[in-house]
Structure 1
Amino acid sequence: MSLVMQENLEGKAEIPRIINDGKESVEDIISNRKQISEKQDELEEVDRELRDISNELKSYDLPEDVDVSSLESQRSEIEGRISEMRQEIGRVEHEIETLDEKVDEIDEKWREEAAKESKHRTMMRKLDFVEDAHEELTEIKQTILAQIRENTEENMNRYFNDLIWKDEDYTVELGEDYTVSVYGRHGDNKIGSLSAGEKQVLALSFMSALTKISGFNAPIVIDTPLGRISSKPKKRIAQNLPDYLMDTQITFLMTDEEYTDEVRAHLQNSVANEYLLDYSNEVTEVKGR
């Protein structure tokens, strides 16, 4: 799981908890304010009782049998109750102030988490876009690679059957990893039974097909291109290979047995320069022809 996704999940879990804490704090404040109201009502009632007792004491000439000390005791008790209630009211008011501060903190934290969640939602949308784009690009890439392989296979089929000197038609196939298979008319894979010359033709066909499909006209150097091929098929290769590698600079390194007069005649319209490498006394001299 990515860090963004993890933080997003944590943020989503945090916000409900913050809201719940805030709700509980507000409920506590409401309850405490109710207690204060009740205490104030009770205080007013006790205060009225105290005033009544005081007024009663002032308005009457009390006989000697009236226990003044008892009345004073009641009055003191009421005053004590009043003091306790005022202290309780003060305590509750302080608790309300504390809860108000807590609610403010919760509200600030909620706003921070809400902003964080909004940021995470934006990040998740971007992440989803990148993942979708990656999937699309991967699919496009696979489609292009498959098309390139099919085109290479098609050209290789044509080149090989044009260059091969046998009357039999072959089917050349390229696997996904560009493994080459050559099938005969009966569907048997002949890749293992091709002669050295046929393998040379297959390699030339593969190289020509790749060069054509690549779109790059990089120079090509081929050493002994006709070295394993008998004299008769050389004519077909000399006739066709320049057409397959049209607009491509090719350097053939051939022996005199390869570069026969017949081969030279078929290549002369495509050859710009000829050089003879004359090796004598352990020295190779390059001569123009």
Structure 2
Amino acid sequence: MSEHGQLTQRIDELGRKISKLEGIDRDGTLATLTKELKAVQQKIDQNDEDIRADERRKTALETQISTERAEFERERKKLDESSPLRSIIEKSERIRSVIEALVPALFPLKVKELAASMTQVYKRLAHKDQVSRIVIGNDGTSQILGKSGKPITFDRSAGENQIFATALIAGLAKVSGINAPLVVDTPLGRLDSRHRHNILQFWTSDEARQVILLSQDKEIDEEFHRRITKHVSKTYLLEHTDVGDGVGRTSAREDSYFQEAAE
């Protein structure tokens, strides 16, 4: 096709497009679309303005919140300074939180320390040379291990159970770090003479520890009493008197013991 023909074809296409646009304009379609477009644009502009207004209100509220928070902190500080009790309570709460966090970590260490203290006391009191150490699990169960490192399985007598309990009490007293008096009821009950000597010597050997022994007359007899006399600060003899009808009365005789009372 020649250049003239191409131009003629292009002119015809443009003519058809112009006619089409003129037809749209004549039936009002173009005007309607233009009006709708303008309305949509106005709505978009209004939404943008609303968003900007909301942003301004948000900024104002954030500023107000910051101001109120600062005022609250100032007033709280004044209250704390004027109320020592509140400050003490808050410090106590912080200390409690620290303790709660430390207990799980310290518990296994204290269990090992208790086991070591029990082992030391148990070896002093018992006469079983095969005992190496006592171990305590985190669940509180305990085992006596032999020199091979294996648990020793034997039927403990009542006396051996008492020795184990004595080692536990002494271990707890040491681990706690509290220098409080220890009250031991029937300390030598169901023990043979060798164990009696060991336990009695243990309870009376530490001058810095106050121990109150509640003994029966046949338990710490005259011989054992003579051995510990130099370690005894005070004695009381408890005497029970029946006043009738199942009613009794107990009195304490100061600086007296069974043998002295019998003389």
- Aligned partner of 1:99 in structure 2 is 44
How far has the Cα of 1:175 moved from its partner?
Answer: 1.6
How far has the Cα of 1:230 moved from its partner?
Answer: 1.7
- 2:166 pairs, out of 199, 204, 211, with 204
- What letter matches 2:123 in structure 1? N
Distance 1:100 1:218, change over 3 A: farther
Distance 1:89 1:195, change over 3 A: same
Distance 1:178 1:90, change over 3 A: same
Among all aligned residue pairs of Structure 1 and Structure 2, give the percentage whose two residues are the same amino acid.
25
Residue 234 (1) aligns with residue 196 (2): yes
- Looking at structure 2, the residues matched to 106 and 242 of structure 1 have their Cα atoms a distance apart, in angstroms, of 87
How far has the Cα of 1:261 moved from its partner?
Answer: 3.2
How far has the Cα of 1:165 moved from its partner?
Answer: 3.2
Contact 1:235 1:266 in 2 (8 A): no
Distance 1:190 1:285, change over 3 A: farther
Distance 1:104 1:266, change over 3 A: farther
- Looking at structure 2, the residues matched to 233 and 218 of structure 1 have their Cα atoms a distance apart, in angstroms, of 25
- Aligned partner of 2:63 in structure 1 is none
How far has the Cα of 1:220 moved from its partner?
Answer: 2.9
Query: TM-score, normalised on structure 2?
Result: 0.59
- 1:273 pairs, out of 229, 234, 237, with 234
- The within-5 A match list for 1:6-85 is 81=26, 85=30
Distance 1:187 1:196, change over 3 A: farther
- Aligned partner of 2:7 in structure 1 is none
- The within-5 A match list for 1:124-135 is none
- Aligned partner of 1:88 in structure 2 is 33
Cα RMSD, aligned residues only: 3.7
- What letter matches 1:261 in structure 2? E
Task: Give the greater-gyration-radius structure (CA).
Answer: 1
Query: TM-score, normalised on structure 1?
Result: 0.54
Contact 2:114 2:172 in 1 (8 A): yes
- Aligned partner of 1:131 in structure 2 is none
How far has the Cα of 1:141 moved from its partner?
Answer: 3.6
How far has the Cα of 1:248 moved from its partner?
Answer: 4.4
How far has the Cα of 1:178 moved from its partner?
Answer: 1.9
- Looking at structure 2, the residues matched to 266 and 97 of structure 1 have their Cα atoms a distance apart, in angstroms, of 110
Structure 1 window deviating more from structure 2 (167-176 vs 269-278): it is 167-176
* Structure 1: runs of 5+ lacking an equivalent: 1-44, 46-73, 113-135
Distance 1:249 1:191, change over 3 A: farther
Q: Indicate the structure whose relative CO is greater, using CA pairs within 8 Å and at least 6 residues apart.
A: 1
* Structure 2: runs of 5+ lacking an equivalent: 1-17, 59-97, 243-247, 256-263
Q: How many pairs align?
A: 190
- What letter matches 2:34 in structure 1? I
- 1:161 pairs, out of 93, 115, 123, with 123
- Aligned partner of 2:95 in structure 1 is none
- Looking at structure 2, the residues matched to 269 and 143 of structure 1 have their Cα atoms a distance apart, in angstroms, of 44
- Looking at structure 1, the residues matched to 234 and 218 of structure 2 have their Cα atoms a distance apart, in angstroms, of 19
How far has the Cα of 1:262 moved from its partner?
Answer: 3.7
- 1:180 pairs, out of 142, 145, 151, with 142
